[in-house]
Amino acid sequence: MIQPHDSIIVKSLGRFLIPVIQIFGLYVLFFGQYGPGGGFVGGVILGTSIILAVLTFGHNASRSQIAKKLLHGDGVGMLIYAGVGGLCMIGGGEFLNYAHLEIPGLEVASRRSLGIVLTQIGVALDVAVTAISIVFSLSAEEIIEDSLNG
């Protein structure tokens, strides 16, 4: 179990840095189509911001509750990714062929762009939740069992 940090400097910096890191993670995630970045890096940055919150404020702080809630979402990212593939199959194409996403009013290239965005969100969720989950697994056996069972 991780205790909250004693130093006021660390806590103040954490309060300031965590939202900045999260905004940067979202920027990297959605800017991945236009520059370096993408789902994997964005997910790691988002997960790291929440890991920083847990390391700074401890497992029991109100900021860490969101991390515990996120752990219930293990697998949602995979579901989004494979679900987009399934939607393409419903639309009449191959698995993960975004050109067959059945959205009216969009040309083929825009559909593929939308498919890239959706799957990137899936990857980012999966990576972020996995990173948080590994840190919790390594640090807090009894806490995590209590929060998952109770």
Partner 1 sequence: MTIAVEIVLLILLLVTAAGAILVKDLMSAILLLGTYSFFLSLVWAWLGAVDVAFVEAVVGAGLATVLFLVTLFGTAPKDSRLRRPPPPIAALFALPLLGILLLYAANDLPEFGDPNSPASSHISPIYLENSFQDSHTPNVVTSVLMDYRSLDTMVETVVIFTAGIACALLLRRKAS
Site of interaction with partner 1 (CB under 8 A): 28, 32-41, 44-45, 47-48, 51, 55, 74-75, 77-78, 81-82, 85, 95-96, 98, 109-110, 112-113, 115-116, 119-120, 122-123, 126-127, 129-131, 133-139, 141-142, 144-145
In angstroms, give the least distance from the CB of 46 to partner 1.
Answer: 11
Residue from 90, 97, 94, 50 nearest 69 by CA: 50
User: In angstroms, rounded to a whole number, what is the distance separating the alpha carbons of residues 98 and 108?
Assistant: 8
User: In angstroms, rounded to a whole number, what is the distance separating the alpha carbons of residues 61 and 53?
Assistant: 9
Residue nearer to partner 1 on the CB measure, 61 or 82: 82
The radius of gyration computed from the CA coordinates of the chain, to the nearest angstrom, equals 18
In angstroms, give the least distance from the CB of 126 to partner 1.
Answer: 5
Residue nearer to partner 1 on the CB measure, 48 or 64: 48
Distances from the Cα of 127 to the Cα of 5, 28, 70, 133, angstroms: 26, 14, 12, 10
In angstroms, give the least distance from the CB of 47 to partner 1.
Answer: 7
Residue nearer to partner 1 on the CB measure, 28 or 67: 28
Residue nearer to partner 1 on the CB measure, 61 or 96: 96
Taking CA 120 as the corner, what is the angle to CA 91 and CA 34, rounded to the nearest 5 degrees?
110
User: In angstroms, rounded to a whole number, what is the distance separating the alpha carbons of residues 102 and 5?
Assistant: 50
In angstroms, give the least distance from the CB of 115 to partner 1.
Answer: 7
Residue nearer to partner 1 on the CB measure, 14 or 38: 38
In angstroms, give the least distance from the CB of 106 to partner 1.
Answer: 10
User: In angstroms, rounded to a whole number, what is the distance separating the alpha carbons of residues 65 and 141?
Assistant: 16
